[in-house]
């Protein structure tokens, strides 16, 4: 209702009032200290306002209160112990504020409590092992993004009605308690960004209702328990950035799995063929491990696949043929928008079957894969690609003119190859290009004069090639460009420079004539300038 100003204390003199809801206004000032006078109040909603100060202790007098929503305000200080007097309380929400200190032990005695939302505060200390002794009805326990420490309560499994548990972004340490396997009704578990360590307890395999398991960026080690992938209800697993080792378990039973994140671990072995049986999989991220062997030819069975990241592993192609057979299967993945195979020793030649990849593809990264031969002309079929990265390979031959068909292309990264010939004028039709990196190749010929038409261009790297002739005057009309590196070529010309945003300019090992213009001194944002030239510097 766009209400502003403080909340009148007189409201709480209305002894018959059962509900107060001021959700999503701009009410300011402190919560009135006489709030406890409203003795029949059952529901209090003050969230999404501008309240400040502290939670008044008199709130403990509202003994009929069933729901409290105080979150998204500027309230600070500790949670008053008197909250523990609210024996009828079912929902306590005080999220996204500036609360400090411990959760009062009195809260854990509220036998009616079903939902606790205390996330995004600065609460600290440990959580008692006996938290579930009285909270037998607890269904939601969201305390992520705080400063809690100590161990996860060893008897957490006694909260056997728990559906949602989020302890992420805290300082919990020690092991995941085995009693977690008693939470047979739990649907979501979030443990990410803590200092918990050790193995994932196999007891988690008992959680037949579990849909989401998140333990990203902790210190977990050991094998991934096979029992986890036997939970048919699982939709999302994120165990990335840990020290998990061993092989990826058999996956056929994870029939409803949609997202699997295991990046940056120590997993090894072959990628199991059984992964193709997880027919609902949309996102698969296995990058940053030690998987080896062939990329399965059966990825095409994953008809809903949107994102596939296999980069930074030891995957190879057949030593005898170096054929990329898996490319043929990917043509069935009609929703694929992100494919990263970088930093694998795939060898071989980029196949013409690249044209079979989905027209939904937006990101294609095959950097540092030791691929050789030419870039196939068929690459021009990837009409929706916005990022193309084939850098740091052994590609040779010309840059295909069909790249000019990629009208959505924003980043073109081909540096560190052996590409030859001239820069095709067809690139000038890509009006959305933001970055071009063609450095460290064997390109020759002149700079295309039409580069000045690329008004979206901010970064241009053409260093260490064999480009020659005069830098066209139109080149300097790229007013919004930030970085240019034309070093180690055979270019010549003068500098009619008037590029106010330029931060990096490298023209070393070229021959420039004439004085550097006075306007060069106006480039206040220039951070790096390097030039080896026959010029006169005006300052």
CB atoms within 10 A of CB 496: 13
Q: Are 156 and 179 in contact (CB under 8 A)?
A: yes
Residues for the chain: how many in total? Answer: 539
pLDDT (0 to 100) of residue 473: 77
**CATH number of the structural domain 372-538:** 3.80.10.10
pTM of the full structure: 0.92
pLDDT (0 to 100) of residue 520: 56
Write out pLDDT tens, residues 341-362: 999 999 989 999 899 898 999 9
Q: How large is the C-alpha radius of gyration of the chain?
A: 31
pLDDT (0 to 100) of residue 495: 66
Write out pLDDT tens, residues 190-216: 999 999 999 999 999 999 999 999 999
**Token couple for 516:** 């550097």
- Residue 446 CA to residue 345 CA, distance in Å, equals 34
- Residue 470 CA to residue 531 CA, distance in Å, equals 16
**Token couple for 271:** 């990628």
CB atoms within 10 A of CB 303: 12
- Residue 98 CA to residue 53 CA, distance in Å, equals 10
pLDDT (0 to 100) of residue 539: 34
pLDDT (0 to 100) of residue 498: 59
Mean pLDDT by runs of 10 across the 539 residues of the chain is: 93 91 96 92 97 96 97 97 96 98 96 98 95 95 98 95 98 97 97 97 95 97 92 96 94 90 97 90 98 92 96 90 83 95 94 90 97 95 96 97 96 98 95 96 93 90 92 78 88 67 68 62 53 43
pLDDT (0 to 100) of residue 496: 60
- Residue 408 CA to residue 406 CA, distance in Å, equals 6
Greatest Cα pair distance, the chain, in angstroms, is 90
């Amino acid at each position: 209702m766009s209400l502003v100003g403080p909340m009148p204390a007189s409201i709480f003199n209305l002894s018959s009032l059962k509900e107060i809801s001021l959700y999503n206004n701009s009410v300011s000032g402190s919560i009135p200290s006489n709030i406890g006078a409203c003795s029949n109040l059952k529901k209090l909603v003050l969230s999404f306002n501008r309240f400040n100060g502290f939670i008044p202790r008199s709130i403990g007098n509202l003994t009929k209160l069933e729901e409290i929503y105080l979150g998204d305000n500027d309230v600070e200080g500790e949670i008053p112990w008197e909250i523990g007097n609210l024996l009828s309380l079912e929902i306590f929400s005080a999220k996204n504020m500036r609360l400090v200190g411990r959760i009062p032990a009195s809260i854990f005695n509220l036998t009616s409590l079903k939902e606790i939302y205390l996330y995004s505060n600065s609460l600290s200390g440990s959580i008692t092992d006996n938290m579930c002794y009285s909270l037998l009805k607890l269904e939601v326990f969201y305390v992520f993004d705080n400063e809690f420490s100590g161990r996860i309560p060893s008897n957490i499994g006694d909260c056997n009605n728990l559906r949602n548990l989020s302890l992420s972004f805290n300082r919990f340490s020690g092991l995941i308690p085995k009693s977690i396997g008693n939470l047979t009704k739990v649907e979501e578990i979030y443990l990410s960004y803590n200092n918990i360590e050790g193995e994932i307890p196999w007891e988690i395999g008992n959680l037949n209702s579990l849909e989401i398991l998140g333990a990203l960026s902790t210190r977990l080690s050991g094998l991934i328990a096979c029992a986890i992938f036997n939970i048919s209800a699982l939709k999302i697993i994120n165990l990335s950035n840990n020290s998990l080792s061993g092989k990826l378990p058999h996956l056929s039973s994870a029939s409803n799995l949609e997202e699997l994140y295991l990046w940056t671990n120590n997993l090894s072995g072959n990628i199991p063929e059984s992964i193709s049986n997880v027919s609902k999989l949309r996102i698969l991220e296995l990058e940053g491990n030690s998987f080896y062997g062939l990329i399965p030819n059966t990825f095409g069975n994953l008809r809903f696949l949107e994102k596939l990241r296999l980069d930074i592993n030891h995957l190879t192609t057949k030593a005898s043929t170096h054929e990329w057979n898996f490319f043929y299967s990917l043509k069935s993945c009609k929703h694929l928008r992100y494919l990263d195979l970088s930093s694998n020793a795939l060898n071989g030649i980029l196949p013409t079957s690249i044209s079979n990849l989905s027209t939904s593809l937006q990101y294609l990264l095959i950097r540092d894969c030791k691929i050789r031969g030419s870039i196939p002309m068929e690459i021009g079929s990837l009409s929706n690609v916005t990022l193309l990265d084939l850098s740091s390979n052994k590609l040779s031959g010309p840059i295909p003119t069909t790249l000019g068909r990629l009208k959505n292309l924003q980043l073109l990264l081909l540096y560190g190859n052996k590409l030859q010939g001239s820069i095709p004028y067809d690139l000038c039709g890509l009006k959305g290009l933001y970055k071009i990196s063609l450095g460290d190749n064997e390109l020759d010929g002149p700079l295309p004069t039409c580069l000045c038409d690329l008004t979206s261009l901010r970064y241009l790297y053409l260093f260490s090639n064999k480009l020659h002739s005069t830098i066209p005057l139109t080149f300097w009309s790229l007013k919004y460009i930030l970085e240019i590196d034309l070093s180690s070529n055979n270019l010549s010309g003068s500098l009619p420079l008037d590029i106010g945003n330029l931060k990096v300019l490298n023209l070393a090992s070229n021959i420039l004539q004439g004085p550097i213009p006075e306007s060069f001194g106006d480039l206040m944002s220039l951070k790096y300038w390097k030039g080896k030239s026959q010029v006169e510097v005006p300052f």
